[in-house]
Amino acid sequence: MEKITNLKEKNAILTVSGLSKHFKYYKTLFDIKKNVIKAVSNVTFDVLINEIFAVVGETGCGKSTLSKLITGLITKTSGTVYFKGEPLDYGSRGRKLRKDIQILFQDPYSSLNPKKKIYKIVSYPAVKNGIIRKRDRVDFAVSQLKNVGLQENTAYCYPHMLSGGQRQRVGIARCLSVNPELLILDEPVSALDMSISAQILNLLMDIQEKTKMSYMFITHDLKLVRHIADRVCVMYGGKIVEIAGSAEFFSMPAHPYSNVLYDSMMSFDFKSKPDLSMKSLSRTRNEQEKIKPVKNSGRNIGSDKEYTKGCVYFDKCYASKDICRVNEPPMENKDQGGNRAVACFFPFSRPNP
Amino acid sequence: MKLIKDIKERSNVGIIFITHDLTIAESISDMTCVFYAGQVMELGKTKELIENPIHPYTISLIKSIPTLSVNYVPKQRLSTIPGFLTEDDFSDGKCRFYSRCFRSNRDCLKNIPLVHYDTDSRYVRCIKI
């Protein structure tokens, strides 16, 4: 595996090329042949320096598998992950590199060890990576906790003594303790209530402004994506179906699945700017804003059937024609601006009313 | 969501839907009850409650949602409710939202009753309305 040479040109911190992960399993106890689920298949994208890259998609489409592949928590089947231009290896060879990729998990309740005090949790990665000595770890943990807006006395608490928002802040402090350059956020706010999630998002954006690091933001909430992301990547069935700049995506999603996702998004539609005097919020709502569920016809993700050819989305798609069944649409630039790539033969088609 | 609605239509059951996402509450429910520190802060028809929130906590909660309107600016700071819910907030003798409220003053240092507000089936626990 050679280094990528045109890194300066691309300005990319993370390059994923042709990454695949196939899970094998036996359908019954006495099966001779193993079945294969292609959780992630042939995924290629870049995350640029100082960019917030959002990955959206339905449950089970491979978003979290992708994040685990990048951090090296599971081994890949094929493909390469380049970080800062160097191929990311598992084992001791890639350890120095992998220090700069940190991951923040969805559930702040189960991702912290309940038997350890907060200062141990926060300082452990730094001690392990040789950034600080073990005897300095309390002071180090306190300074890290202050960075994320927590009190000094939280350092001596156990995780169960903290609220959900505080725990997620502890998770952020743990990630930041080794000064990473890429932070993978796996649904960081979906377990938190609205005002706490707003606090966490503000904190994450402040940190990004200060440290100029890159975020890979995995979520299924398009409201958050629009709020936070620079580029959006839509996944379906283990494949990327659209990558676009945030502004382009939200003005006009190109892939039919993106369209359906966009239409099923729930929100208040504030026609006028929210009244900042905090007195009243008036709201008008269009008829078409009502929820449209994604039509669930045909197969589910991870079903037993082998789909080797054709588009992953063809049997749920409103725009599918015969060609979609036979040929797999390549990722192509279908926009004049060049800030969008779509895997579809019929992009920009709207669903029939 | 559609499944829950279908079940409601078909079997005529009542549903208590517990969530912290007001956008989901808005799309599924008829009545909404806003809960804070073990007390009902505001109760009313969902549409009225979201279009015209009265309690400071409800107002702050709605303001902290990133909206999808046309003139919405991405990456602006979201409005938040300062501080955390602490054990102290559960004590009697003051409004439970007292320490985080943008309207609170000395008048709030007493037990606040849940009172009927002018429209039908609307209740609010706040004296500063």
The string of DSSP letters for A133-191 reads -GGGHHHHHHHHHHHTT--GGGGGS-GGGS-HHHHHHHHHHHHHTT--SEEEEESTTTT
Average pLDDT over residues A184-194: 85
Considering only CB atoms, which chain A residues are within 8 Å of B50? Answer: 268, 281, 283
Contact B89, B62 (CB under 8 A): no
Q: Does B1 touch chain A (CB under 8 A)?
A: yes
Q: Would the pLDDT of A156 be above 90?
A: yes
Average pLDDT over residues A302-312: 60
DSSP-assigned states of every residue in A57-113: --TTSSHHHHHHHHHTSS--SEEEEEETTEEPPSSGGGHHHHTTEEEE-S-TTTSS-
Residue of A nearest to B24 (CA): A266
Average pLDDT over residues A3-19: 71
CA A348 to chain centre: 24
Considering only CB atoms, which chain B residues are within 8 Å of A290? Answer: 27
Q: Would the pLDDT of A274 be above 80?
A: no
pLDDT value, residue A29: 79
**3 state SS of A255:** coil
Q: Does B70 sit within 8 Å of A202, measured CB to CB?
A: no
* Greater pLDDT, A304 or A101: A101
Name B124's Cβ contacts closer than 8 Å, sequence gap at least 6.
B41, B42, B43, B54, B55, B114, B115, B117
Q: Which two tokens stand for residue A5?
A: 């040479």
Task: Please tell me the least confidently modeled range out of A61-65, A233-237, A311-315.
Answer: A311-315
Average pLDDT over residues A194-221: 88
pLDDT value, residue A341: 87
**CB hemisphere CA count around A30 (13 angstroms):** 0
Which DSSP state fits B76? P
Q: Does A226 touch chain B (CB under 8 A)?
A: yes
Task: Please tell me the least confidently modeled range out of A260-274, A282-296, B27-41.
Answer: A282-296
Q: Would the pLDDT of A122 be above 70?
A: yes
- Please give the Cα distance from A281 to A24 (Å, whole number): 52
Q: Would the pLDDT of A292 be above 50?
A: no
pLDDT value, residue A26: 82
pLDDT value, residue B112: 87
Q: Does B52 sit within 8 Å of A281, measured CB to CB?
A: yes
Contact B64, A198 (CB under 8 A): yes
Nearest CA distance, B12 vs chain A (angstrom): 21
pLDDT value, residue A352: 67
Amino acid occupying residue A146 = K
pLDDT value, residue A291: 45
Q: Does A290 touch chain B (CB under 8 A)?
A: yes
| Residue of A267, A275, A286 best to disrupt the B interface, most CBs of B under 10 A | A267
CB proximity under 8 Å: B 107-126 to A: none
Domains of chain B by residue range: 2-124
Considering only CB atoms, which chain B residues are within 8 Å of A169? Answer: none
How many interchain CB pairs under 8 A, A with B? Answer: 105
Residue of A nearest to B23 (CA): A267
pLDDT tier, A116 (very low <50, low <70, confident <90, very high otherwise): very high
Q: Which two tokens stand for residue A136?
A: 């300095």
Considering only CB atoms, which chain B residues are within 8 Å of A166? Answer: 84
The Cα angle at residue A76 between residues A70 and A82, in degrees rounded to 5: 45
Q: Average pLDDT, whole number, for chain A?
A: 80
Number of residues written out for chain B:
129
Nearest CA distance, B72 vs chain A (angstrom): 8
Which DSSP state fits B60? H
Considering only CB atoms, which chain B residues are within 8 Å of A281? Answer: 50-53, 59, 62-63
pLDDT tier, A298 (very low <50, low <70, confident <90, very high otherwise): very low
**3 state SS of A9:** helix
Average pLDDT over residues B29-37: 90
Crossing angle between the packed helical segments A164-176 and A137-147, to the nearest 10 degrees: 120
pLDDT value, residue A266: 62
Q: Would the pLDDT of A5 be above 80?
A: no
Considering only CB atoms, which chain A residues are within 8 Å of B97? Answer: none
Closest partner residue to B77 (CB to CB) among A202, A246, A273 is: A202
- Please give the Cα distance from A19 to A334 (Å, whole number): 23
Closest partner residue to B65 (CB to CB) among A194, A205, A273 is: A194
Domain B2-124 coded CATH 3.40.50.300: yes
B65-113 confidence digits (pLDDT tens): 876 555 667 777 888 888 777 778 888 888 888 888 888 888 888 888 8
* Greater pLDDT, B55 or B88: B55
Average pLDDT over residues A141-145: 92
